[in-house]
Structure 1
Amino acid sequence: MDGDIKEVVLTEGQIQRRVSEIADQIAHDYENKDVVMVCVMNGAAIFYIDLMMDLDIPLEMNFVRVSSYGTGTKSTGNVRMLYDLEADITDKHVLLVEDIIDSGHTLTALTEMLKKRGAASVKCCCLLDKKERREVPLKADYVGFDVPDEFLVGYGLDYAGKYRNLRYVGTLKPEIYEGAGQESRAGEDNRI
């Protein structure tokens, strides 16, 4: 698997240090608040668990899985809920945890949906932010790293369901995905 990687962009050490810094910031901001920490599956699972383990505040865990892709590789902007929250979020502070923000369509729609369900507040935390690909005015409240528009895999990011389990983030060699009808992107379930 490592042989498919062109370049390591973020090492395991860099990621872990930044996750700890974000956790400290979140713990400070959410002190004495009723928090529901929501993982946007599948890509954010590794980041979510690492972040949660570094947090020293009481919180409730929950998960969602959404899609806005239909049959293509570009977001349609129409969000489809594949797996919904199991918790009542009325009057609770929701922290959405995502691996990467790209166009921003899905995360914007998800934020609005949670607000309509009565959340006291909704904030977004992402490990990676591709700001240059943003199509809607969305700004994450907590960002691990700003990254360029490159094909990234590892630490939850996949290509064709593979590479999520790499402990670092890297660029995939073009020959791995060229000719497969794919644009330079992470897996469909984590391009938000």
Structure 2
Amino acid sequence: METSDVANDLADILVTEEEIHAKLAELSRRIEADYEGREILLVGVLRGAVMVMADLARELRAHVEMDWMAVSSYGSGTKSSGVVRILKDLDSDLTGRHVLIVEDIIDSGLTLSWLLENLRSRGAASVEICALLRKPDAVKVEVPVKYIGFDIPNDFVVGYGLDYAEKYRNLRAVAVLAPHVYS
């Protein structure tokens, strides 16, 4: 979906599709250098990270394994609830593995902080984080993120996997959702 298809629902375009792909290529080169000679298990956080995970994995020039986990701290609203629930656990054993958590967005950091500790407790050799977006003004818990795409304002954003009421995930850019849509 192009931004022009839902222009009346969007207040501002923050990151274009071209900027996203350029940033994922840049992050991929760093990841390749940092993990040279080691196998990586990419752990995507459903559902928002589907687009990021797919494009990051395609950009990497090395074999990677992928697994998915679904955790939630969101209801149907626009703010994090702070309560973390596992909706789908990993199929992979993490013992001795180099794990790279792939996230769409970091806002409060509450969910990601919990997830980081949970995966570390499973015996992984290392656990790092790659996130396309971060909202520095929304952070409640500092989380060590090794690979960050873009810092964005503390607005409600959609696109590139991010949704509002399961809509806008297939928008090719990241945009601020106009308040009249969710008010």
Q: Taking structure 2 as the reference length, what is the TM-score of the superposition?
A: 0.92
Q: Paired residue for 2:72?
A: 67
Deviations 1:16-62 (A, max 9, x none): 10011011111111111121100000001001100000001121110
Residue identity in the other structure for 1:139: P
Distance of 1:69 and 1:167 partners within structure 2? 23
Counterpart of 1:168, as a letter, is A
Tell me the equivalent position of 1:170.
175
Q: What's the counterpart of residue 11 of structure 1?
A: 16
How do 1:86-105 residues align onto structure 2 when only pairs under 5 Å count? Answer: 86-105=91-110
- Which of 77-86 and 124-133 deviates more? 77-86
**One of 119, 126, 129 as aligned partner of 1:121:** 126
Give the root-mean-square deviation of aligned CA atoms: 1.5
TM-score calculated relative to the size of structure 1: 0.88
How many residues are paired up? 178
SS in 2 for 1:68: strand
AA in 1 matched with 2:130: C
1 CA distance for matches of 2:138 and 2:71? 19
Q: Is contact 2:32–2:61 with CA below 8 Å preserved after alignment?
A: yes
Which one of the candidate residues 55, 58, 62 is aligned to 1:50? 55
Unmatched segments (≥5 aa) in structure 2: 1-5
Of all paired residues, the percent bearing the same amino acid is 48
Structure 1 gaps of 5+ residues are 179-192
More strand by share: 2
Shift of 1:70: 6.2
The counterpart of 1:144, out of the listed 141, 149, 152, is 149
Q: Tell me what 2:33 maps to.
A: 28
